[in-house]
Amino acid sequence: MKSIVAVSFCLLLAACATQKAPIEVATRPTLYDDAAFAPPSKPVSRADVFALSPEMQVFLADRVEHKISTRGRINALVESLYEKGSHKFTYDANETNNAAGVFAQHSGNCLSYTIMTAAFAKQMNIPVQFHVVTRGDVWDRTNDIDFLIGHVNLTLGEQKRRDEIAQLVDFTALSDVHGDFLDDIGEDVIVSMYFNNRAAEAMARGKLDDAYWWARAATESSVSFLGSYNTLGVIYLQSNNAVMASRVFERVLEREPENLLAMSNEMIALKALGRTAEAQDLSRRLAELQPNPPFYYFNLGMQAMK
């Protein structure tokens, strides 16, 4: 069986394009089917993404502020957070959390740490620029869902300032990636990625109701991050709603006709709807664009073993 393809950051990745018109348009059939899903088990709130907890406020006052006069704002923050033996954080590629959650658990993925660092920086009035790393693709597979895993980081400060040197902050071995391998993205995209990851993680755990509301919030947060729409469509597929899934994937393909994730998933939706000829046409087109899809040789090996 062909795997469904979803998208995740340090867990999903799709095109981060320039600002465009929304995919969800009031004059066209809606991409949302709220009545098909139970309410979320926890509130889905944009305000929670960068909010500082009381413990984070204390950390700023006790551990960071006294260093600013000698180290500057950026060094004071980065050193207080990430110097060895200073404040121990561990890397967990499978869980995305908001700023307060990462700080409380001392654990998270690249997106989580990017959000937490940005939350402190915003409180300190340090300019922030988010980046997505464009070098190479990494894939994972869970329960017949293939996840394309992206990577993000951020720069603190402004390059033009002479009194404070801007600093790229990363949390993996990709800390040397810069320049041509980084695309700047806005805070709206980071928020969309956060909601999208939460949707993907809920879906991987079989919690489709929660996954839907996270994905819905992701699509509403940014018009340029199409990965969130792909995730929404995958949730519909997992919920046996091929009609809504196909509608979502078709809308993505209107925006990006060669979006491989949407093409692969639309092919599955078309087959489920009995539109075999259209699915075959799309399959041929996909094979031209991507002759060796993710897990291609792994799947061949599994077939040979059987």
Q: What is the pLDDT of residue 26?
A: 65
pTM: 0.85
3-state SS, residue 78: helix
What's the domain range around 163?
4-305
Strands 182-185 and 128-133: antiparallel
Alpha carbon distance 115, 97 (integer Å): 9
Q: Report whether 177 contacts 42 (CB < 8 A).
A: no
> What are the start-end ranges of the H helices in the chain?
54-59, 68-82, 99-105, 110-123, 187-204, 208-221, 227-238, 242-255, 260-272, 276-289, 296-305
Sheet of strand 182-185, all strands in order from the earlier edge strand to the far edge: 167-169, 152-156, 128-133, 182-185
pLDDT in tens, the chain (306 residues): 345 555 444 434 333 333 456 687 767 899 999 999 999 999 999 999 999 999 999 999 999 999 999 999 999 999 999 876 556 788 877 789 999 999 999 988 889 999 999 999 999 999 999 998 876 666 565 666 666 677 889 999 987 666 678 899 987 755 455 555 788 999 999 999 999 999 999 998 999 999 999 999 999 999 889 999 999 999 999 999 999 999 999 999 999 999 988 999 999 999 999 999 999 999 999 889 876 665 444 555 767 788
Q: Tens of pLDDT along 243-287?
A: 999 999 999 999 999 998 899 999 999 999 999 999 999 999 988
Q: Report whether 249 contacts 269 (CB < 8 A).
A: yes
Q: What is the pLDDT of residue 186?
A: 94
Q: What is the pLDDT of residue 296?
A: 45
Question: In this structure, what CATH number is given to the domain that contains residue 132?
Answer: 1.25.40.10
Q: Hey, how many other C-beta atoms are within 10 angstroms of the C-beta on 296?
A: 11
Total tally of structural domains belonging to the chain:
1
Q: Report whether 285 contacts 263 (CB < 8 A).
A: yes
Q: One-letter amino acid identity for 299? A: N
Of the candidates 263, 182, 184, 272, which has an alpha carbon nearest to the alpha carbon of residue 226?
A: 263
